[in-house]
C-alpha cells in the first residue's frame, strides 16, 4: 500500500465543510478487507504517516481508523457519515445507523455455548439465574429476554471461553465462525443469537440531506459493484456461427451474450458474456463440446448491471 502525504480532497462535502468521512476498522479481522474494498472501488488511501489514524481517500473522502466496535458510535454521532463494521457491533451498540450493504465478508455467528458436559441441549432450557459471560451484554440480555429467562450477565472483554471453566459463568455468548475455538475449549453451541457479516453503514441524518445522500449512494454503488464483480468472470470464446442458439443457452450473460464478428471466412463469431465465477469450469466444458476455440476468462473489476 502506498503511504504518502494526504492530498487535500478537492470537493468539500461533510457537514462542517470537511471531506465525507468513512470510519473503518483500524485492526482485527475486518480491517484489511474493508480498506481493500474501498481501494478497489476507486478510493485509494493515502496515509500521512505509518500507522496514521486518518487517511485521505482522494476525491473529497477521508478515512478514520477506529476499533470495529466503535464504528457504529462514530457513525451514529456524525463524526463519520459512513462506516464499515460487523452486524454484531451494530447490534451491540444499539445506536441508530442505516445499514446500506452486506459486504459479504467477516461472516460469523454470535452464539450461546455451555460446557460440553452440561445436560442442557438448547438455550431455552437454561434455568433462571444462569450466569452468562459475554462481551455482548446488550445482545445477550435481549436474547434471553425474548426467551423469557432471567439471567445474570458477567461482562468480560475477551477470552470469554474460559469463564465457564473458572466457575464464574454457566454459559457464554460469544462470536464463532467455524466453532473450533469453542470445541477446543470444551464448549458446545446451544443457540444462535445472531448471524453477522461486515456491513456498510451510514448516519441517518446524512441520508436525509439530499446532497450527502447522493454521495453516500454513489459510494455504496461503487462498493457494491466491486463485491458483485468478484463473483463473476468475463468469458470470451470463438464459436461456430451455426451453434449460436446453443451457445446462448450456455452463456446467457446479463442480457444475452455479445456477439462480435471474426474476420475469417464467416464460419466463426466471438461470444462474450459475464458468467458466475463458480460455473466457469462447467461453462468451458460445455462451450468446448459445442466446438468453441480461443476461450479466454478474465476477472472483472466492477459490475453495474
DSSP 8: P
Identify the residue among 75, 90, 97, 175 touching ligand AMP (CB under 6 A).
175
Rounded to a whole number of angstroms, the minimum distance from the CB of residue 135 to ligand AMP is: 9
d(CA 195, CA 182): 16
User: Binding of ligand AMP at residue 89 (CB under 6 A)?
Assistant: yes
User: Binding of ligand AMP at residue 83 (CB under 6 A)?
Assistant: no
Rounded to a whole number of angstroms, the minimum distance from the CB of residue 184 to ligand AMP is: 13
The window from 3-11, 22-30, 56-64, 118-126 that contacts ligand AMP (CB under 6 A) reads: 22-30
Q: How many residues bind ligand AMP (CB under 6 A)?
A: 15
DSSP 80: S
User: Binding of ligand AMP at residue 88 (CB under 6 A)?
Assistant: yes
The window from 21-29, 50-58, 185-193, 223-231 that contacts ligand AMP (CB under 6 A) reads: 21-29
Q: In this complex, which beta carbon is closest to ligand AMP, that of residue 29 or of residue 228?
A: 29
Using the CB atoms, write b or e for 185-217: b if 16+ within 10 Å: bebbbbbebbebbbbbbbbeebbeeeebeebbe
Rounded to a whole number of angstroms, the minimum distance from the CB of residue 84 to ligand AMP is: 10
Contact 225, 304 (CB under 8 A): yes
Query: Grid coordinates in use for 117?
Result: 458436559
What are the φ/ψ torsions at residue 96 (nearest 5 degrees)?
A: -85, 110
Q: In this complex, which beta carbon is closest to ligand AMP, that of residue 30 or of residue 64?
A: 30
Q: In this complex, which beta carbon is closest to ligand AMP, that of residue 109 or of residue 286?
A: 109
The H helix count followed by the E strand count for the chain is: 10, 16
Binding mask 106-125 for ligand AMP (x = CB under 6 A): x-x-----------------
Q: 61 - beta bridge partners?
A: 20
d(CA 169, CA 285): 56
Q: In this complex, which beta carbon is closest to ligand AMP, that of residue 114 or of residue 135?
A: 135
Q: In this complex, which beta carbon is closest to ligand AMP, that of residue 3 or of residue 27?
A: 27
User: Binding of ligand AMP at residue 177 (CB under 6 A)?
Assistant: yes
Strands 20-25 and 82-86, by their bridges, are parallel
Q: List the one residue out of 223, 216, 125, 113 whose CA is nearest residue 169.
A: 113
Binding mask 191-210 for ligand AMP (x = CB under 6 A): -----x--------------
Beta strands in the chain (DSSP E): 20-25, 46-47, 54-56, 61-66, 82-86, 98-102, 108-115, 131-134, 152-155, 171-176, 187-196, 198-202, 232-240, 258-261, 268-276, 293-299
Identify the residue among 28, 204, 256, 294 touching ligand AMP (CB under 6 A).
28
User: Binding of ligand AMP at residue 224 (CB under 6 A)?
Assistant: no
Binding residues for ligand AMP, per CB under 6 A? Answer: 25, 27-30, 68, 86, 88-89, 106, 108, 175-177, 196
Amino acid at each position: 500500500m502506498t503511504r504518502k502525504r494526504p492530498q487535500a480532497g478537492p470537493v468539500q462535502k461533510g457537514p462542517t465543510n470537511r471531506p465525507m468521512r468513512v470510519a473503518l476498522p483500524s485492526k482485527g479481522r475486518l480491517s484489511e478487507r474493508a480498506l481493500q474494498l474501498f481501494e478497489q472501488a476507486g478510493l485509494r488511501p493515502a496515509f500521512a504517516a505509518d500507522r496514521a489514524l486518518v487517511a485521505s481517500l482522494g476525491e473529497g473522502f477521508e478515512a478514520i481508523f477506529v476499533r470495529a466496535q466503535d464504528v457504529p458510535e462514530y457513525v451514529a454521532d456524525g463524526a463519520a457519515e459512513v462506516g464499515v463494521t460487523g452486524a454484531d457491533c451494530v447490534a451491540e451498540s444499539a445506536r441508530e445507523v442505516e445499514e446500506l450493504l452486506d459486504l459479504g465478508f467477516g461472516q460469523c455467528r454470535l452464539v450461546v455455548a455451555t460446557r460440553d458436559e452440561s445436560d442442557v441441549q438448547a438455550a431455552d432450557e437454561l434455568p433462571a439465574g444462569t450466569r452468562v459471560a459475554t462481551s455482548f451484554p446488550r445482545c445477550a440480555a435481549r436474547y434471553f429476554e425474548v426467551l423469557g429467562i432471567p439471567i445474570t450477565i458477567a461482562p468480560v472483554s475477551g477470552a470469554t471461553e474460559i469463564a465457564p471453566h473458572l466457575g464464574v459463568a454457566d454459559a457464554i455468548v460469544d462470536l464463532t465462525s467455524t466453532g473450533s475455538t469453542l470445541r477446543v475449549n470444551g464448549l458446545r453451541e446451544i443457540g444462535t443469537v445472531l448471524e453477522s457479516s461486515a456491513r456498510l453503514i451510514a448516519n441517518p441524518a446524512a441520508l436525509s440531506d439530499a446532497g450527502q445522500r447522493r454521495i453516500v449512494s454513489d459510494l455504496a454503488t461503487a462498493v457494491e459493484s466491486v463485491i458483485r464483480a468478484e463473483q463473476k468472470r468475463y468469458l470470451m470464446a470463438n464459436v461456430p456461427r451455426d451453434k449460436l442458439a446453443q451457445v446462448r443457452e450456455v452463456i446467457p450473460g446479463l442480457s444475452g451474450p455479445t456477439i462480435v464478428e471474426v474476420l475469417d471466412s464467416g464460419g466463426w463469431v466471438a461470444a462474450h458474456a459475464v458468467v458466475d465465477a463458480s460455473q466457469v469450469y462447467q461453462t468451458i466444458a460445455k462451450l468446448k463440446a459445442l466446438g468453441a476455440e480461443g476461450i479466454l476468462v478474465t476477472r472483472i473489476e466492477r459490475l453495474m448491471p
